[in-house]
Structure 1
Amino acid sequence: MNPSAKHKPFIFATVSGKGGVGKSLASVNIAETLRLLGYRTAILDVDAGMANVATMFNVYPPYSVTDWMEDKCRLTDVMVDADGITLVTTANEPGPLTDRHDLLIQALDQVLDALAATHDFVVIDTPAGLGELNLWALDRSRLGAIMLVDEPTSVSDVYRFCKYVLGIDPTYPFAVIVNMAESDEAAAQVHEKFNTIVKYFLQTEIPSMGYIPLSNTIRDSIRKQTPVMRMDPEEELEREFSFIAQNIIALAREMQRRDLQRSNVK
């Protein structure tokens, strides 16, 4: 992506088939890595009522999207600065509006438009599983970054997730991020195991964007409510988050190039 080119932000969603696989941790640290590389970055947390992303930043947003929907604040009030990353929380706690997905999606579209107008990258952190908000996030994104861990339930849940989405759109751009990997060889084996299932049953392949190492530093970052990329991480962690971020940047640039080609043809 070239920030000096005609502005077109890259929006991507982090998704998972089940909870507890480190999806929000990945969202936070990929966003932080993009910020460190000089990109204007935002996170939209659509896991209504959980606000895990805010907790990981040790930030307590005074207002959420549902507050704005109830006319308790302005749209700009829900955009919180988390030390250089713009954070928007859908709801700080469950309430009547968190179950009204039709109204919530209309509001989220307006929030996403506002973020896209002023940022280079927008990360949509989704709930676990496959629901209306997940489908909305994937529909608005140019990449679905799937979190995968080396557990049978994770592999099977992610497979079912992909099967459903690819049944709607066979060309949807998914990519895998393996979390809690003991080594790059172990991460490659998890990805290969998953892709074997996908190739056999869905006749397609899903590429890898990288892996996140199993690390005590990550556990410390969660306890300290600080992104691991702000904690002088060990070389492997820094290298792997940078690798993932660079893959996302490369994809954004390639899609921008294709968009420009299509617009020139028109």
Structure 2
Amino acid sequence: MPAPAHFSPKLHLTAAHGFALHDSRQADFRREWHTHDCGMLLWPRMGRLKSAWEPRADEAPAVSTRLVRGDAVLLPAGTTHLTVAEAGRQQHGELYLAPEHLRAFRVFGAVHLDGATIAMLEALLSPMLAPASSALLVRAIVAQLVSSRPLAVPAEPASLALRMVRRFTAALERDGALPSIEMAAAALGVSVRQLQRACQIEFGASPVAIRRRVLAAHARALLAEGRPLARVSEQLGFASSGHLTRLLRASDGG
């Protein structure tokens, strides 16, 4: 299960005009798992963002994608999500939408923005734009987004071993507990022995060894973001930093 998400209310900000706008220029931007009480459109203007969110289906794994200029993610109210800048410098916009703006949408998630939508979003961020003009512009942006093309996300791999790896990765990206081998096998609908054979064929290693590699790779990624070793150790459930250090040493070259 993912770590408890922080509730970040925004609906009250939309009361006056049906929307609220935020322009972020914060370097090394990172927002841990959180949720809003209104819809949200998030789009990069500069740099690259990693975005992850939990679909409505309870059993569906979290969806994760990379966003650059020309991409966006549109999420309904109550969606648990995470946003991380993958470069030191970044700039992105966040448009919070009251429920009436979302009635025409049946599908949410990552989308491509066409030139008209990008231009309107840029205009919306202009400090000289009057509130009445902003409201008209938001309605036009929403109408244009209804026909936006979905941004492709990786399909579920056919390989049993790779599906196991994806479940491990999804759990870590959600800041959740890493599933045991038994739990992973049960989720995939196979026996532990079947999973062992598949991993040996695919990777030449046991599921336990692969699980440790995935954990070590995720720890290195967190450390590369500048997080302290002690914080990463605590986040990943290690009893001490020494346990994580030994895992990283053991996995070097793996």
Range class of TM-score, shorter chain: under 0.3
Structure scoring higher RCO (CA < 8 A, sep ≥ 6) equals: 1
Q: Which has the higher helix share?
A: 1
**TM-score, with structure 2 as normaliser:** 0.25
From the CA coordinates, give the structure whose radius of gyration is larger. Answer: 2
**TM-score, with structure 1 as normaliser:** 0.24
